[in-house]
């Protein structure tokens, strides 16, 4: 199969996009090792994934380094990494954004991304091979009321290009996926509470819908596998055409209708 049993670490894999990435990798023949700050209970685990039971807090660089060592000692070399761990705090006007909310999102979403990439990157550089996929967001290139989250994801997009340039000749590819509005447990809660409106999100996209988490997982698995062997430094939008379609809104119904 495509993955040929190679080990891929997935962070934030207890739910949402991280869970979908782990499942896609496992279905593509990788050994998907799922980590999370709160590992899922047995009834929420998938038989085709490997689960790391120790809490994996990406905002703690020392813990990340220790857990990477322990994972390799037990399961062998990490050939790939999909870093999906992240947090999104309560959105508020910039002038009312609390400093602790800002710090938490930057610590997890940006600093945590670097800590994980650095820890697995060291191992990959030493072996002369590896592939890393970071999860950014369409908010990295648009505007959003999620101020800290958007700033962090813009940093992830920049970090992707920097690491790809620095590590490319040492055998390590680094890419990113930028999900649009994606159907996850968190988004479903926001839709049910009325905080967000699916019809409005769908209307802004070229494809007229939001993204399914499995579609982000499929894109991440592709970037990890050898079929993407000449791709590095890319930031792939997986957004049902949101970035392409959102600027059509001022033209009303000018978009062609099927």
Tell me how far apart the alpha carbons of residues 110 and 124 are, in angstroms, rounded to a whole number. 21
Query: CA quadruple 115, 118, 119, 121: dihedral positive or negative?
Result: positive
Q: How far apart are CA 208 and CA 20, in angstroms?
A: 22
Longest distance between any two alpha carbons in the chain, whole Å: 58
Which of 51, 115, 149, 251 is catalytic? The answer is: 149
CA distance 109 to 92: 18
Distance CA 79, CA 89 (A): 32
Burial of 142 (0-12, 13-18, 19+ CB in 10 A): middle
199: CB partners within 8 A, 6+ apart: none
Pairing of strands 31-34, 78-83: unpaired
Q: Is 149 a catalytic residue?
A: yes
Partners of 50 in beta bridges: 33
Q: Which residues are catalytic?
A: 149
């Amino acid at each position: 199969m495509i993955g040929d049993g190679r080990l891929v670490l997935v962070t934030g894999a207890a739910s949402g996009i991280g869970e979908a990435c782990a499942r896609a990798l496992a279905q593509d023949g990788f050994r998907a090792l799922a980590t999370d700050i709160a590992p899922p209970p047995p009834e929420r685990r998938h038989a085709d994934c490997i689960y790391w039971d120790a809490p994996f807090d990406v905002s703690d660089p020392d813990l990340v380094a220790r857990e990477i060592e322990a994972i390799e000692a037990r399961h062998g070399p990490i050939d790939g990494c999909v870093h999906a761990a992240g947090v999104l705090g309560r959105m508020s006007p910039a002038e009312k954004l609390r400093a602790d909310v800002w710090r938490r999102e930057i610590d997890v979403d940006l600093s945590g991304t670097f800590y994980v990439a650095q820890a697995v990157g060291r191992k990959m550089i030493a072996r002369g091979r590896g592939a890393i996929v970071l999860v950014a967001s369409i908010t990295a290139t648009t505007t959003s009321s999620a101020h800290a989250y958007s700033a962090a994801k813009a940093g992830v997009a920049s970090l992707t290009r920097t690491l790809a340039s620095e590590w490319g000749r040492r055998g390590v590819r680094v890419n990113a996926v930028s999900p649009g509005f994606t159907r996850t447990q968190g988004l479903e809660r926001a839709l049910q509470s009325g905080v967000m409106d699916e019809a409005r999100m769908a209307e802004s996209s070229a494809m007229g819908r939001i993204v399914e988490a499995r579609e982000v997982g499929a894109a991440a698995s592709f970037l990890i596998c050898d079929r993407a062997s000449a791709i590095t430094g890319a930031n792939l939008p997986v957004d049902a055409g949101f970035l392409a379609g959102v600027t059509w809104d001022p033209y009303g119904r000018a978009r062609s209708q099927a």
